[in-house]
Amino acid sequence: MPHSLNIAIVGAGPVGCLLARLLLNCPRVRVVIYEADASPDSRGQGGTLDLHEGTGIAALKKAGLYVEFLRHARFDGEAMLLCDKNLTGYLKFAKGVSDNSRGSPEIDRMVLRQLLLDSLPQDTIRWGHKLLSVSDGNVLHFPQGIEQGFDLVVGADGAWSRIRRFLTPVRPSFCGVEGYAFTIPDAAQAAPKVSELVNRGSLYAYSDGKALMGQQLGDGSIQVSVYTTESQDDDAVFSADDECRRHQIARQFRDWAPELLELLAPTSEYEMTRRIYTLPVGFQWPAHPAITLVGDAAHLMPPFAGEGVNLGFEDAMKLSDAIRGFIDGGYSTLNETLRMYEKDAFQRARRGQELSVGVMQDMFFTPGAPRASIERWMIRHVRYRIHPWAFPPQDPIESNSFSGDKKAVFTVSDEEKASPSTTEPVYDGDQYLGQAPTEEELYTLRKVAGPVSGSGYWLCTVEFAERASYYGCTWVFQNFIQYPLPPGGNGAGASAPGSEKPAGALGQGLQVSSALTLLFKFLAYCIPIFGGWLADTRLGRYKTICIGVVICGVSHVIMVVGAIPSILQAGHGMAPFIVSLMILALGAGIFKPNISPTVMEQVTFKHPYIMTLKSGERVIVHPETTIQRLTLTFYALINVGAFFGLATSYAAKRVGYWLAFLLPGIIYFLMPIILALVYKKTIKTPPQGNILGDTLRVIKLAIQQNGFRKFGSEAYFDSVKPSELARKGIASYKGKPISWNDGFVDDVRRTLVACQIFLFYPLYYLNNGGIGSITNSQAGSMTTKGAPNDLVSNFNPLTIIIASPILNYGLYPLLRKHRIEFGPIKRITLGFILAALSCVVGALLQWRVYETSPCGYYATECDIGSGVSPLSVWAQIPMYVLQALSELFAVVSGYELSFSRSPKSMRALVVALFLFMSAVSSAISQAVVPALADPHLIWPFVGTAVPGVILAGVFYWMYRDLDKETFLREDSDSQQEILSEKDKS
């Protein structure tokens, strides 16, 4: 039965245009080409190429363009000289004529492309359509909007194909050869010696891993190409001064024949810098029922054998034949049609890649070339042209054939095809980092942290300044609210000299103090949900951070003013304090969920890669290890800031609360300065639109289809993937096209698992610090010898500051060295247990306070004798040390999870949900504040410690398998760009 097809071709290069021309000859086919260039003349098309009889020319004949091609072809362009740096010739061809040709006439690339463009109807090509991404269902995303409804999408979009990127993570790798291109206009007049040497054809001179090439163009100019395996000086490469480039080249080619150096004459004009990339030899993309590739998108290879365009034209011819067969009923399905085309294309491409990489190896990476390699070079060409069995196979192309650091893997074995990661290059943007590890290497090689943008550490100092100001103030809130102005003090809240009484100001008692501090904490960790939503959907994280900084700055000013001694003595300190407290909670809530993901996004590489250390050890540079180290640094600086509470505690005790609130404000105003300095260097994530809506729709649809059984499991959400819905005939949800893709559904599942883990944290927070203010109150009932009662709590951040580098550079590297996996789930479990143990210590201390206090089990408000237990406040140190260590394992891993298991466009919101667990903990504390009274202060410690140990065991049993997963997952670009385009429209 005949079929009809609606086909989209991405890329209007020669191969894409030829395919369109061939398909337009087919009945019942509609073709449209999307091209990123704004017009046909937007950029140069390169030099000249030779088309071969059995491939390129055969395709032009089938397209009915051969006669037009002959009008522009240059048969005299078949002249060729291959020589060394001394101009010693090793291969020479004379000029050809149309009746006596080697079957490889030359044509300028620009002329060939124009010939093909002129053969197409004017409305075939949509210029200025740069493909952003592809999503399931053959939906193409452009800046202008979404295009869909295609039966087939063909990627003809070249070396850095977006279509190929949708099908496979494999990307081109650098070959180790780079250089420049020049043009000599009107060469016969401007450089007659060069024109005579090129002989209206081509000149190829090779020696010492370098090459000088000249090719005659149809307009009388000569294109000169300079290649070398030596690293180029970036100052010369990017200089606008041609003389700078010529000086570098002259230095590299100083011992070459003067006749060859004429190619670099001052009359030549610089065109571009070139780096040669290639796909792995034998590269195959995963089968897709309605997408395929042609040309460089399918088999990018070095240009030194001249087979790239010829293979691409043959791709177009073979694919159009297959499509015609499908339309005429020769194939039952389009999927079958594409598989037949690709089976042939993979075989042809492998032979072409082996030839191209082989001749590059012969001339650039073989000592003594071309004399030492010319025989092998010729055999490769003849064997390729005639038949593989005509000559014995050449040496296999090995990665170690290339010198220096510019090694690349160019072969794919059968085993490697089964595990594509063995040949995947890893990139940071367009910068090649290394090869991805194999499955075996992932289990056997040590993992190390990789590079982090300098702005990442500067942003950590921003968090330090914010937390220094935040904790510097909040550290003294408890006493400021609970206790009255001390008798004999200076009226600013400071205690009388030598007094054991704590500093104070408002005199509202323990319950009011606990209620206000818990309310503040609840708001500070509840408002981040709004702050995360605002950043992710409206403003972007960096702008939202700046807004939070301004709001907090206002609160600091009000707080200092409200603590002026005259206001406190008049009894008017409560109102300004509560106002500043609420504003500080708002600003901190907006700032806090956005700073940690912004810091972690400065780790720009997303996949592990292999690196060899100076010691010779091969290691895996892993993004998760890098994020773990950066997060520990981030959290350590948080606690350096928290340690500032020591200064404010003493300021309140000795001078008064106006100074205790002023000092954090001074530190705080470092933040806008740092943010301004790092603005340009910071990697920023723009707002991505309302991804929360799609998230809720995915969850709702999954529940409708599956109920609540096995909610959150991988199979649970498979049913709402667009690929699965398409099999059921579902293409819309509530009358609108489905706007998410399969990768987004996986992201939702991973995010829900992270949020399930977060549900364990409220009990953890109750253990880590106790309910309400009972630890501070406990210290107030102990002997301080003149020190502030809240001083000892500073051992929490002090422990974190000391332990963080020990973990970062000692324990964790040691575990990795001995291949001991200590994943996030194990770390969180250990953190839960340590927090529970800290409450056990707290319960024992409270019991001893009751046993030794002059007031017995009513020690909190004791006025008998000294009013305190003889037990030293320093006995609390083990409790705070355990709390600090628990945070390094549980809280730091929680930050890692909230970043690595959430979609890029929801990271601030997921961090906010993690922080919200602290608000839940505060709400629970708030509910039991009335019960925080003597003689029952032992039970709040015991009541959280026992469930905490039990819950740690339950947690590990439920999530132990997650340690086997790769936590950090690069987002599907397509989903991000879908949302961006939705918002624009």
Which 8-state DSSP code applies to residue 100?
B
Which residues does 237 contact at the CB level (< 8 Å), separation at least 6?
A: 245, 273
Element (H, E) at 416: helix 414-418
Location of structure tokens 């091209």: 35
Distance from C-alpha of 479 to C-alpha of 767, rounded to nearest angstrom: 22
The predicted-structure confidence for 623-651, as pLDDT tens digits, reads as follows 888 888 888 888 888 878 777 777 888 88
pLDDT digits (tens, 9 = 90+) for 30-85: 999 999 888 887 666 667 888 888 899 999 999 999 999 988 888 766 788 999 99
From CA 567, how far away is CA 143, in angstroms rounded?
A: 59
d(CA 160, CA 414): 25
Alpha helices in 570-618 (DSSP H): 574-600
Residue 214 and residue 210: Cα distance in Å, rounded?
A: 14
pLDDT in tens, 352-393: 999 999 999 999 999 999 999 998 898 888 888 765 444 444
List, in order of start, the domains of the chain with CATH numbers: 5-342 (3.50.50.60), 454-687+759-984 (1.20.1250.20), 695-743 (no CATH)
Single out the residue of 310, 332, 312 nearest to residue 322, CA to CA: 332
Range scoring the smallest mean pLDDT among 94-103, 154-163, 205-214, 915-924: 94-103
Q: Compute the distance between CA of residue 326 and CA of residue 139 in angstroms, rounded to an integer.
A: 23
Tokens standing for residue 838: 């800290």
Determine phi and psi for 28, rounding to 5 degrees. Answer: 60, 30
What's the pLDDT band for 211 if we cut at 50, 70, 90?
very high
Per-residue tokens: 275: 């780096």
CB 191 within 8 A of CB 422: no
Distance CA 544, CA 561 (A): 27
Distance CA(977)–CA(687), nearest Å, equals 11
Mean local confidence (pLDDT), 157-170: 91
What is the per-residue pLDDT for 715? 66
Least confident range of 72-81, 679-688, 779-788, 954-963 = 779-788
- State the virtual CA torsion across 765, 807, 668, 542 in degrees, nearest 10: -90
Contact status, residue 153 vs residue 139, Cβ threshold 8 Å: no
Q: Distance between CA atoms of 721 and 137, rounded to whole angstroms?
A: 11
Residues 479, 502 contacting (CB under 8 angstroms)? yes
Q: 789-827 burial string, b = 16+ CB within 10 Å, else e?
A: bbbbbbbbbbbbbebbeebbeeebbeebeeeeeeebbbb
Do 513 and 773 contact (CB within 8 A), yes or no?
yes
Best mean pLDDT range from 108-117, 240-249, 405-414, 762-771: 108-117
> Cα separation of 604 and 427, whole Å?
9
* pLDDT of the residue at 356: 93
- The H or E element that residue 192 is part of is helix 192-198
Task: For residues 488 and 495, give the distance between their C-alpha atoms in angstroms, rounded to a whole number.
Answer: 7
- Name, in order, each residue with C-beta under 8 angstroms of 904's C-beta and a sequence gap of 6 or more: 685, 688, 971, 976
* Residue 614 predicted with pLDDT over 90: no
Between CA 894 and CA 884 the distance in angstroms is 15
CA distance linking residue 248 with residue 254, whole number of Å: 10
| Distance separating alpha carbons of residues 595 and 585, to the nearest angstrom | 16
pLDDT value at residue 49: 81
Name the more confident of 539 and 421: 539
125 contacts 33 by C-beta, under 8 angstroms: yes
**Residue 112 and residue 120 in contact, taking contact as beta carbons nearer than 8 Å:** no
Beta-bridged to residue 32, according to DSSP, are 8
Q: Tokens 């470092």 identify what position?
A: 670
Per-residue confidence (pLDDT) for residue 252, from 0 to 100: 85
Which one-letter amino acid corresponds to residue 269? E
- More confident: 404 or 673: 673
Q: Reduce the DSSP state of residue 433 to 3 states and report it.
A: strand
Task: Indicate if the pLDDT at residue 530 is higher than 90.
Answer: no
d(CA 553, CA 458): 20
